[in-house]
Chains A and B, each alone.
Chain A
């Protein structure tokens, strides 16, 4: 029987409760994938001769300077490349797609309540079958249910449900609607496998799966090459990270012999502190994180991923998939706590990424690109958190970020939807995502405006909004650990850890300032000031339908009140440190090792001062943006002047893509084409093949060739034909020589 409910030692207290149905959590989205996939396969949408797409002109304007950028088509509503043709089974998909997610979320809630009631500190492991029994290695297909995985499940299913509902409104008129939901459901399935897996290999299945779904969804409108290229780029860059993950797993197995979390954590305590092995394993894991969670140097795929539909950007590239890296480090907290050098590396890269991406975001004109770089920057924050051992802070930020970033993306989706509608009605071919074409949308979309301001305030870190609590906790944690923690005592490339942490704290503050600035800039250019869309377009701008606005409202509430999940002690509006207590059984060991046994508490005064600094910076950023940025001085994108100097560098993302292309891609392509293809494939292998078979022009059918024997058969044939002279005398000779040989055999026996 497939479902063998074998818990860990003895029967787990959760065994009889809703938790025993944890296998149903990922199975529901998988079912949605199957149904939607079948619907998509079963019926193709045939475009007839009087299709609205035929009336449009060609060459949708891709007049952007940025490379690999294809604008999100604003849902599906008529464009020469994405004709309006509602799928025959759209109604079924609209029911099943979000429906399975709702069911999953309800089940997750039930399990969560059961877990809270039981309050066990042991993970609940449900083993289904033995997946890879190979010699010493025993990998089971099993799910592990503990506080950490439950937190992730709630975020995934909760935010996922809202995004699925939003997608119904956004994508319903797309001809590929069932395919979209199939992929989206498949993604949720893999993400749940990722967070529920009880061992690194099972997690890796989910890891790879979400990468696949990301590729499928980014390149959803693959008929446009730029979209397909973006999908490819995401997948390939992810792969580099996956290599790191794999190597780390190999090293784990080679040295410990176990790959399940329980086993690894048990064995890890026997490993030497700060040893080369543990550090290397952690660094390779972090390579995987850098790929999946878009840190330096593997972040380049995330801005390009904006080519996919906006709900995809919200779900995958803001709330869930990119957080997998953070989850990995939190899950491996025991390992990371044993390798302070690796922890410092994580913090440094996180901080650098945060400020690097924030600086790019200051000068982007595409609204989704601003949000993309913002995501990269905020992910940097999360890594600062988990890298410095403040796992709760990092995971808290993960949760709050999923709220407000999803809200921001979905809100921008509403904006783009409205802009596209307007452009469709007037036949405009401008870029609907360029902020220079927007402006003053507050008048036309007030609900979206208000909600996005809520998210902006949250992400900037203004109290009492969500982001304030999580970001402040991270920065506070980093500051606190700069003395008296194992990280502070370690060294990173020769620099003492305390100094490193302080520098990263400063970088984090700077990035916070920039965050406030670019987010306010985005709001100013999009919603405030005069409208630059055009006279006729203005008439068609209006709020999105309620099915798209309702999830925004829910997310807005969460963005405002989400901080309640983990209130700090100086802000006791409700239960203090709820999340911290919830996660303690899972991450407590690692966190305590880093803080050397006792939870690190800042002096009350210091803590308040840090909070004040953070708030001041946030407010200053917003004020700076209001003061210096004049939306009135903007012109529509087609008339915009070219950038100069450092602004140009920022607008072109520091030319990182171009550098990668020149330094890595072109040499690889050149080597492949010149050496591998021409040299080895055509020269060597085809040469060897030519020994056996060649082509000769067919005289009976000019232009075609027929096969003929190559060098080897012709040589052998020539030798043979020499022997077949037709002269009997020659044959007699051969006979006699043969007789001599036979006699010789008798003679020399």
Chain B
């Protein structure tokens, strides 16, 4: 099942990448990042079956960090929305220069 899992994981990851590149809505982009993280989790779990439980422990931590990241990231998006009244990233270029 390792090869199949890796296949699925790769496809999911690529879809996540395409989503990040294609969409403009900040929340959708964020969700695509979560998709990528999930794909990676699948990889780790698949490897854990073959190479030992450390893979699952890694997934554990990834999930924790993803949760923290989601919290902070959404707080940022809220602050951004309050400032700019939009979450369309094409219009937000505060980093310009």
> A residues engaging B (CB < 8 A)?
721, 724-729, 731-733, 736
Contacts and interface: CB of A to CB of B under 8 A. Distances in A.
Contact of A724 (B89, B90, B96): B96
Contact of B93 (A727, A733, A736): A727
Contacts of B97: 721, 724, 726
| 8 closest Cβ pairs, A-B complex | A726-B96, A726-B93, A726-B95, A728-B89, A727-B93, A732-B20, A724-B97, A729-B89
Contacts of A726: 92-97
Interface in B64-97: 89-90, 92-97
7 contacts: A725-B96, A726-B92, A727-B90, A728-B89, A728-B95, A733-B21, A736-B17
Contacts of A725: 93, 96
Given A726-B94, A728-B29, A729-B90, 17 more contacts: A724-B95, A724-B97, A726-B92, A726-B93, A726-B95, A726-B96, A726-B97, A727-B89, A727-B90, A727-B93, A727-B96, A728-B95, A729-B21, A732-B21, A733-B21, A736-B17, A736-B21
Contacts of B90: 727, 729
A555 B77 CA distance: 108
Contacts of B29: 728, 732
A354 B94 CA distance: 89
Nearest to B33: A732
Nearest to B97: A724
Interface in B15-41: 17, 20-21, 24, 29
Contacts of A727: 89-90, 92-93, 95-96
Contacts of B17: 736
Contacts of B89: 727-729
A728 B20 CA distance: 10
B59 to A, nearest CB: 21
A731 B20 CA distance: 11
A736 B32 CA distance: 14
A155 B27 CA distance: 105
A729 to B, nearest CB: 6
A627 B29 CA distance: 119
Nearest to A731: B95
A725 B97 CA distance: 6
Contacts, number: 34
Contacts of B93: 725-727
A699 to B, nearest CB: 22
A725 B90 CA distance: 10
A387 B93 CA distance: 90
Nearest to A733: B21
A733 B23 CA distance: 12
B92 A728 contact: yes
A193 to B, nearest CB: 69
A732 B26 CA distance: 12
B26 to A, nearest CB: 8
B83 to A, nearest CB: 15
Nearest to B23: A729
B6 to A, nearest CB: 14
Interface string B30-66: 0000000000000000000000000000000000000
A732 B95 CA distance: 13
B74 to A, nearest CB: 16
Contacts of A721: 97
A726 B20 CA distance: 16
B53 to A, nearest CB: 26
A243 to B, nearest CB: 60
Contacts of B24: 729
Contacts of B21: 729, 732-733, 736
Contacts of B20: 732, 736
Contacts of A728: 29, 89, 92, 95
A349 to B, nearest CB: 76
B61 to A, nearest CB: 22
Contacts of A731: 95
A732 B90 CA distance: 12
Nearest to A727: B93
Nearest to B20: A732
B9 to A, nearest CB: 15
A742 to B, nearest CB: 14
Contacts of B92: 726-728
Contacts of B96: 724-727
A637 to B, nearest CB: 78
A726 B95 CA distance: 4
B31 to A, nearest CB: 14
A736 B20 CA distance: 10
A689 to B, nearest CB: 28
A725 B93 CA distance: 7
Nearest to B94: A726
Contacts of A729: 21, 24, 89-90
A304 B14 CA distance: 91
Contacts of B95: 724, 726-728, 731
B38 to A, nearest CB: 18
A727 B95 CA distance: 7
A478 to B, nearest CB: 89
A733 B90 CA distance: 14
A721 B90 CA distance: 17
A722 to B, nearest CB: 11
Nearest to B89: A728
Contacts of B94: 726
A727 B97 CA distance: 10
A729 B93 CA distance: 10
Contacts of A733: 21
A728 B96 CA distance: 10
A731 B95 CA distance: 10
A739 to B, nearest CB: 8
Contacts of A724: 95-97
Nearest to A728: B89
A128 B89 CA distance: 86
Nearest to B24: A729
A727 to B, nearest CB: 5
A710 B6 CA distance: 53
A408 to B, nearest CB: 83
A214 B92 CA distance: 78
A732 B96 CA distance: 15
A277 to B, nearest CB: 73
A177 B59 CA distance: 97
Nearest to A729: B89
A244 B20 CA distance: 80
A133 to B, nearest CB: 64
Nearest to B95: A726
B15 to A, nearest CB: 13
Residue from A721, A724, A727 whose CB has the most chain B CB atoms within 10 Å:
A727
A744 to B, nearest CB: 15
A724 B92 CA distance: 13
A118 B95 CA distance: 98
Nearest to B26: A728
B30 to A, nearest CB: 11
A734 to B, nearest CB: 11
A586 to B, nearest CB: 84
A724 B97 CA distance: 5
Nearest to B96: A726
B27 to A, nearest CB: 13
A731 B24 CA distance: 13
B79 to A, nearest CB: 15
A44 B17 CA distance: 84
A721 B96 CA distance: 8
A725 B89 CA distance: 12
